[in-house]
Amino acid sequence: MTERPIAVRLAPVLFLFVFVAIATAAILDNSCAFAQQDSKTADATAVDQDTVPSVDTDANGQEIDFEEAPHLNNTQSLVIEDKWKRLGKNQIWINHTDKQVMVRGRICLQEGALEMFACPGRSKAHESVIAVEAKSSEIHQCFLALGVNPGKPVQWDPDYTPVQGPSVKILVRWQQGDDYHEVNARQMVKISGTNKTLEKDWVFGGSQIYVDNVSGEKIYYADSGEMVCLSNFSTAMLDVPMQSSDAADGLLFEANQENIPPPNTQVYMIFAPDTTPRQPVEKPQDAAEGSAGK
């Protein structure tokens, strides 16, 4: 039997060696790419609250992903009076006469635990009563247009400090058949394990705005979900003025089913901010080091 040349016998070993070298190089290259991305994220720093992202885009410059794009459906279940002026293509209106803002949405939950009362689009629909067909930054802009300025979001370090700012009353309206309904949003929420509903209105803390030092991208955090909160978040646009979280001594909330219409009911939220002149709240000295979550 003739012995094969050594080159032929070593060919499989050489092939395996080359394959491993190429695979290792690819893994290292991807690791570098992820490291660069992490570096970009870490470089994000806070900027002044006076510059809110344009109401034409969300935090990432994209349309909010509403299920089946209901924001493109302009058929309204309630009559919109002339005093309400529609803004842009989303379902949001401003009323300069009565100093109010209105958004359209739909019921997500009729029962269950809540961290939000309302969220933009489907962002946090699994823990909200209402999914809103507008962005948090749009509502923020409307408040500014009405002369209502934000205060400060909740702080947890070094100690708990509740949200500060003007209070905002929220009414929820809807039509079922020939029946018109209007409920204070607080009546749609109760303290877990009780029949006690929310006693105080929400407060306009104003969320936080960050700029990525690499891309220059502006990010309004509440566009990612924290529109009207029931658990305290430093990223909340509107928050409750009491300690609310799963931490010790924090309140927990749930949907109050008896005051909430069935899921997918089209509803309108009316925001009525307190327009009483007030002293501006001092800004945190180092907002960049503030928590971006609870």
Q: Which DSSP string do the residues of 237-268 spell out, in sequence order?
A: SEE-SS--SSSTT---EEE-GGGSPPTT-EEE
Q: In 3D, which of 274, 291, 283 has the Cα closest to residue 99?
A: 274
Between the alpha carbon of residue 91 and those of residues 86, 157, 249, the distances in Å are 7, 37, 38
Residues 52 and 31 placed together within one structural domain of the fold: no
Residues 22 and 49 placed together within one structural domain of the fold: no
Residue 275's pLDDT band (cuts 50, 70, 90): confident
| Phi-psi domain of 186 (left: phi exceeds 0; alpha: psi -120 through 50; beta: other) | alpha
How far is Cα of residue 78 from the mean position of the Cα atoms in its chain? 26
Block residue for tokens 């935090």? 59
How many angstroms separate the CA atoms of 255 and 114, rounded?
7
pLDDT, residue 246, reads 59
Domain assignment present for residue 286? The answer is no
pLDDT in tens, 169-197: 999 999 988 899 999 999 999 999 999 99
How far is Cα of residue 254 from the mean position of the Cα atoms in its chain? 19
Q: Mean pLDDT, to the nearest integer, of 258-284?
A: 82
Best mean pLDDT range from 105-119, 203-217, 266-280: 105-119
pLDDT, residue 294, reads 41
Residues 14 and 75 placed together within one structural domain of the fold: no
Q: Mean pLDDT, to the nearest integer, of 263-292?
A: 68
Model confidence at 8: pLDDT above 80: no
Best mean pLDDT range from 11-15, 26-30, 256-260: 256-260
How far is Cα of residue 261 from the mean position of the Cα atoms in its chain? 23
Residues 4 and 144 placed together within one structural domain of the fold: no
CB 116 within 8 A of CB 128: yes
Domain assignment present for residue 290? The answer is no
Residues 113 and 237 placed together within one structural domain of the fold: yes
Residues 135 and 56 placed together within one structural domain of the fold: yes
Residues 14 and 156 placed together within one structural domain of the fold: no
Q: How many domains does the chain fold into?
A: 2
Range of the domain at 10: 1-42
Model confidence at 23: pLDDT above 70: no
CB 192 within 8 A of CB 114: no
Token couple for 29? 């290259």
pLDDT, residue 156, reads 87
Q: Mean pLDDT, to the nearest integer, of 102-121?
A: 94
Q: Which amino acid is at 97?
A: T
User: Which range (60-64, 160-164, 212-216) has the least confidence?
Assistant: 60-64
Model confidence at 6: pLDDT above 60: no
* Strands, sheet with 113-114, edge to edge from the N-terminal-most edge strand: 113-114, 253-255, 189-191
Q: Which amino acid is at 126?
A: H
Mean pLDDT for all residues in the chain: 78
Task: Report pTM.
Answer: 0.73
pLDDT, residue 67, reads 52
Model confidence at 18: pLDDT above 90: no
Domain end position, chosen among 42, 58, 74: 42
Residues 116 and 195 placed together within one structural domain of the fold: yes
Q: Return the percent helix, strand and coil in the chain, to nearest 5.
A: 25, 25, 50
How many angstroms separate the CA atoms of 233 and 202, rounded?
13
How many angstroms separate the CA atoms of 93 and 242, rounded?
29
pLDDT in tens, 39-56: 333 333 333 444 454 433
Residues 16 and 71 placed together within one structural domain of the fold: no
pLDDT, residue 284, reads 38
CB 84 within 8 A of CB 269: no
Q: In 3D, which of 292, 267, 248, 13 has the Cα closest to residue 117?
A: 267
Question: To the nearest whole percent, how much of the chain has pLDDT over 70?
Answer: 68
Q: Mapping DSSP to helix (H, G, I), strand (E, B) and coil, where does residue 231 land?
A: coil
Residues 16 and 146 placed together within one structural domain of the fold: no
Residues 4 and 127 placed together within one structural domain of the fold: no
Residues 198 and 146 placed together within one structural domain of the fold: yes
pLDDT, residue 29, reads 44
pLDDT, residue 38, reads 35
DSSP letter at 205 equals -
Considering only residues 36 and 66, tell me which one the structure prediction assigns the higher pLDDT.
66
How many angstroms separate the CA atoms of 115 and 230, rounded?
5
pLDDT, residue 59, reads 31
pLDDT in tens, 75-104: 899 999 999 999 988 999 999 999 999 999
pLDDT, residue 4, reads 54
Model confidence at 117: pLDDT above 90: yes
pLDDT, residue 92, reads 96
Between the alpha carbon of residue 172 and those of residues 24, 125, 180, the distances in Å are 58, 17, 11
Token couple for 130? 């209402």
Token couple for 252? 């927990």
How many angstroms separate the CA atoms of 91 and 72, rounded?
9
Token couple for 256? 């109050």
Residue 93 parent element (H or E): strand 92-95
